[in-house]
Amino acid sequence: MKQRLRKLWFGLRGVNPDAVIVHFWTGDVSRARRMTREILALEPARRHFVVHTGGADPPPDCEPVPLPPASSGELWLMLRHRFRDLRVGLAPVLFDGTPNPLRAAAVAFAPGSILAFNANLERHHLRLRHAIASVLFLAGVPLDRIFLRPSWLYPFKRDRTRVPEAVAVVDGRPTDPSRPRVAVLSPYFPYPLAHGGAVRIFSLLREASREFDIFLFAFARDPATQEFEPLREFCAKIAVASLPHYREPRWATLAPPEVREFDTAPMRRLLREITAEAGITLRQVEYTQLAAYRGDILVEHDVTWDLYGQVRRRAPSVSAWWNWLRWRVYEARALRRFHAVVAMAEKDRALLGVPHARVIANGVDLGRFRPQPERPGRRLLFIGSFSHFPNVEAFLFFWREVWPNLAGVSLTVVGGPDHLLHWQRFTGTPNLPDAPGLRIHGFVRDVRPLYVEANVVVVPTTVSAGTNLKVLEGMAMERAIVSTPSGCAGIGLEDGRSGVIADSGPRFAQAIEALLAEPERRSAIAREARRLAEERYGWEALGAEQVRLWRELSTGRPRGAGGPPPPHGHSPRPEREESAPPGPPR
């Protein structure tokens, strides 16, 4: 009876009672095709239409509806006319951030039936009763974070941060009673040497282990599966805690979310128990997000508030301002809780603005990264882990503003572990760029053959802090480097002598073309870069500076240094005289 009444109702209106699905291809064609295939698999029995404005080849199971390019209003009128006898039950629309008048026409045509797909092909029904969720989805917020609620507002929410209890503790070389004992805390396990931070931690600990017994504490997704053997050669003990599954909205905490994410009870327990058992007298904390654990030395791999300040200046928004403010306040207070602070370069030491900061620069293994003969060609190399968002920004800058100005060149990119996952997280797009001559790798265990193959190393960093270890590797391998000013900041490259520095896309491309056209000049610049690396950046000399700092603090440390960490969940807080907000950046 219900079906008969339904047919009668739609018959009186002159509309087919069977709902159809109208797909709107309003963005990248490859994504739109994947969107349509997904819906076809879910609803194979329905009648499907694909609406597009040219340049599309819909699947054979869909009826194409080509429309001429027009304004949103004109397209809406065309849609009304074309589907006047049909009932639209579902309207998948691609919202990938590209401007398209057909998208607005689709929303106006079938406002209650829109199934929105974002650039990652996550889908969400746009509903007025879920207006906030719909707006967040269209703004690019990942679907799994749209419905997160802050624990202080929803104390009984189900989707809470989970901290696995799994840990792994592995003994290394025997301890020596004559050697002082130092704990080093890192937000990740520093092997394999997949990015610059891992290279630095591994290399300096190896050098310092000649005079100190080192106890390494680190985080990892799966503590038991880490490659312990290389570190066991120079660490007395290695303790690895699980990374938490952090489920707080980024905006919802006063402390930066990275700080909250790494503040876990299992790690505090490991630190407390092993410090007491082994008689550890000194603690070095790597990276600002771990400053809540306190200690004697804080290693600022970058000045984080300055990094977020650069992002804020490039793309102003409330979110960018909030991220910058939290880091500015947190970092300024954290610096005062340590007896020594280590910066990567003189410019970073000046930015920190505290008298107890000193520079221990990044370095390179000069014995491992040796010059090799260069073969003729037009081959470029960019290395930068996509887990660090400035490297994604760098590649986007090169791809959009430099690559179109080059001809007949090849580019090899090394994006590090899980590079596609990080690319999707930072850009909101499911696929990496693809073009003739472009090769994008994930993690490469040994990058030396890639340097040997390259004619020019490119460092197109636009947002940066600290110093770039990949610049140092290129210098050590005697390859000419073209860099933005921020990409080689603090290293001492001289434009035209030991490298080439360019501050815009066209100039960057011109610099590359000039070097490729002049092999003798390219070779002279590369030789000078190697000489500079030998003079300043060998790990042995830098390791001696690390040892000197540890000796100073071990023998002349103020009373109370290296005390136990504060209770779980507490961040470092300033003394009473430090309660005023920090001044403007220096």
CA distance 82 to 74: 12
Per-residue pLDDT at 13 exceeds 60: no
Task: Assess contact for 473 and 199: CB atoms under 8 A.
Answer: no
Task: Assess contact for 184 and 284: CB atoms under 8 A.
Answer: yes
What's the rounded mean pLDDT across residues 470-487?
95
| Residue 67 exposed, middle or buried by CB count within 10 Å (0-12, 13-18, 19+) | middle
Task: Assess contact for 483 and 475: CB atoms under 8 A.
Answer: no
Q: From residue 176, give the alpha-carbon distance in Å to each of 64, 180, 213, 512.
A: 77, 8, 7, 53
**How do strand 379-383 and strand 167-171 relate by DSSP bridges?**
unpaired
Which pLDDT band holds residue 428 (cuts at 50, 70, 90)? confident
- Residue 94 tokens read as 């691609």
H-type alpha helices, 279-317: 304-314
What's the rounded mean pLDDT across residues 519-541?
96
Residue 470, helix vs strand vs coil: helix
The pLDDT of residue 137: 86
Task: Assess contact for 503 and 487: CB atoms under 8 A.
Answer: no
Could you report the per-residue pLDDT of 29-64, keeping only the tens digit for each? 888 999 999 999 999 999 999 999 987 889 999 999
What's the rounded mean pLDDT across residues 183-187?
98
The pLDDT of residue 143: 75
Lookup result for tokens 């396990």: 189
The pLDDT of residue 557: 53
3-state secondary structure 255-270: CCHHHHHHCCHHHHHH
Domains of the chain: residue spans and CATH: 18-146 (3.40.50), 167-363+558-566 (3.40.50.2000), 379-536 (3.40.50.2000)
Sign of dihedral through CA atoms 423, 427, 430, 433? negative
Q: Which amino acid is at 167?
A: V
Question: pTM of the full predicted structure?
Answer: 0.74
The pLDDT of residue 563: 41
Which pLDDT band holds residue 397 (cuts at 50, 70, 90)? very high
State yes or no: cis peptide before 192, omega within 30 of 0.
yes
Give residue 420's Cα distance to chain centre: 11
CA distance 24 to 116: 10
Task: Assess contact for 270 and 169: CB atoms under 8 A.
Answer: yes
Lookup result for tokens 């802050």: 150
- Mean pLDDT score of the chain: 88
Lookup result for tokens 């909030």: 322
Q: From residue 305, give the alpha-carbon distance in Å to each of 80, 149, 197, 320, 466.
A: 52, 26, 18, 11, 12
Give residue 356's Cα distance to chain centre: 30
The pLDDT of residue 140: 76
Q: Which amino acid is at 472?
A: L
CA distance 269 to 264: 9
**How do strand 213-220 and strand 123-125 relate by DSSP bridges?**
unpaired
- Residue 408 tokens read as 């007949």
What's the rounded mean pLDDT across residues 454-462?
96
